[in-house]
Amino acid sequence: MTTRKPSIAPLRKDAQRNRAALLDAARTVFAEEGLDAPLEGIARRAGLAIGTLYRHFPTRMDLVGAVMAEKKRAWIKAAEAAVVIEPAWDGLTFFLERVCELQAGDLAFNDIASMRFPYAAGIEAARKRAYDLGRRIVERAQAEGSLRPDITAEDVAFIVWAHSRVSEATYAIDPHAWRRYLALTLDGLRATAAHPLPVPPLRPRQVLRAQLRLGRRRLR
């Protein structure tokens, strides 16, 4: 996230300025083009040479991690808020709405939320935290009887995956279209809507493998 030196040395003024410009450019470009956007474009937009980008962020994931820091915080904050909302159903909808909102309009976060990238330590830590909270949100809503009992926290991964494509398709055409689809999804999650499900849920390990697979495919 910072430049990986054990470093006590503070950055020089110009370096600080340039680092900020790179983050700024990267935020915009990643959001518009996704995690695999050419790094040269980011350097250009920041008005700097490609070598400077590499000095500050030796790997793509260092840059991604730095850019995603705020979004990560927003993600966890949403989960922390949701887990205490009453009734628990409202907590669940609040959580899903916030996650989808973060995904919509930011292709990079969209990728981050539905995929997994080895060696992106900062991001993975946040994800772990968000998932643990997600599990509690699900269990709470089931306990109160509003969320159908036959789903598991792993099924939330389905929702994130599904929404990631919906958002990718529609954000530039109608920035609120995803709300309609999320509402349909929620209607299927209500205890009152439940019909037997044909196959068992994914196991946590399977979700992880699926996310890794998507990530590999994305940054092939």
Partner DNA sequence: TCCGAAATCGAGGCATGCCTCATCTTCGTC
Partner DNA sequence: GACGAAGATGAGGCATGCCTCGATTTCGGA
Which residues of the shown chain bind its own copies in the complex (CB under 8 A)? 34, 114, 151, 155, 157-158, 161-166, 168-170, 172-174, 176-177, 179-181, 183-190, 192-195, 197-202, 206, 209-211, 213-214, 217
50 binding DNA? (CB under 7 A):
yes
SS3 220: coil
Taking alpha carbons only, the member of 165, 154, 180, 182 closest to residue 97 is 182
52: partner contacted, choices DNA, its own copies, none (Cβ within 5-8 A by kind): DNA
In single-letter form, the type of residue at position 114 comes to S
Part of the chain binding DNA (CB under 7 A), chosen from 13-21, 122-130, 177-185, 206-214: 13-21
Nearer to its own copies, 130 or 210 (CB): 210
Tokens of 84: 């205490």
Q: At a CB cut-off of 8 Å and minimum separation 6, what does 57 contact?
A: 3, 22, 63, 66
Part of the chain binding DNA (CB under 7 A), chosen from 49-57, 111-119, 138-146, 197-205: 49-57
Distance of CA 207 to the CA centre of its chain: 15
In single-letter form, the type of residue at position 29 comes to V
Part of the chain binding DNA (CB under 7 A), chosen from 6-14, 98-106, 180-188, 201-209: 6-14
